[in-house]
Amino acid sequence: MKYVYALILAAPLLAQTTLPGGSIPVPLPPVQQQTFTSGMVGFATGQTARLNVFNMNSLPSTASLAGALTPANCTIEMQFFDNKGASVGQSTVPSFAPGVSAVLDLPRANVTSETAARAEIRAVVIINPTPTPVESPAPVGNCAVLTTLEIFDAAGSTVALTSDFRPVMPSLFAVIAPGPLK
């Protein structure tokens, strides 16, 4: 019986884990795939669509303690889709570091699924996409990204710009049973 009381009194002390200086470590959330999409945008002959992605994770401080957690790199996949949902451009950045940006350009001439001078496209950014068996999986971490989609002409002048990207949520469907609710 006395061992039970000792265990009850010692349990909170055994459960407490602190780092030097008394700080309590905060567990990192698990790394998850996230997908963001723009709306449809149009661009015409002689124009180029550019998808810009910036990793907003903070850069590690040079004065950080040895062994302190630093923001991990992540993997991003940038894609363009036409108005029929077909992929018309794609690029993967396997070790996307904090404070770095990446771009994917799509000239109007590369969208061959539409014959009109004007084509409709949308951009998609996937953070930590599922690796394929032929890829060597790079270590991934959680990333916060800022994404813009711009359309510029042959002279390099931006004619349209959007930063309105929305998260693509997994489909949530409920099963509705026939009959009245009780």
Inter-residue contact 126 to 34 (CB < 8 Å):
yes
Residue 78 amino acid letter: M
Distances from the Cα of 116 to the Cα of 78, 98, 119, angstroms: 25, 40, 7
| Angstrom distance (rounded) from CA 90 to CA 94 | 13
Q: Which residue has the higher pLDDT, 68 or 110?
A: 110
Which residue in the block uniquely carries the two structure tokens 């996307």? Answer: 96
- 95-153, pLDDT tens digit by residue? 899 999 999 999 999 999 888 899 999 999 999 887 655 555 555 677 889 999 999 99
DSSP state of 178: S
Model confidence pTM above 0.75: no
**Residue 66 has what pLDDT?**
52
Q: What is the H or E stretch that residue 7 is in?
A: helix 2-15
Take residue 47 and report the two structure tokens written for it: 């124009």
- 72-83, pLDDT tens digit by residue? 688 999 999 999
- 143-179, pLDDT tens digit by residue? 889 999 999 999 999 999 999 999 987 654 444 555 5
Q: Give 74-143 as a DSSP string.
A: EEEEEEEEETTS-EEEEEEEEEE-TT-EEEEEEEGGG-TT--SSEEEEEEEEEESPPPPTTSPPPP----
CATH topology of domain 30-59+72-161: Jelly Rolls (2.60.120)
pLDDT range class, residue 38, cuts 50, 70, 90: very high
Inter-residue contact 73 to 139 (CB < 8 Å):
yes
Give the residue from 47, 73, 61 showing the smallest Cα distance to 152: 47
Which residue in the block uniquely carries the two structure tokens 């265990």? Answer: 7
DSSP state of 22: S
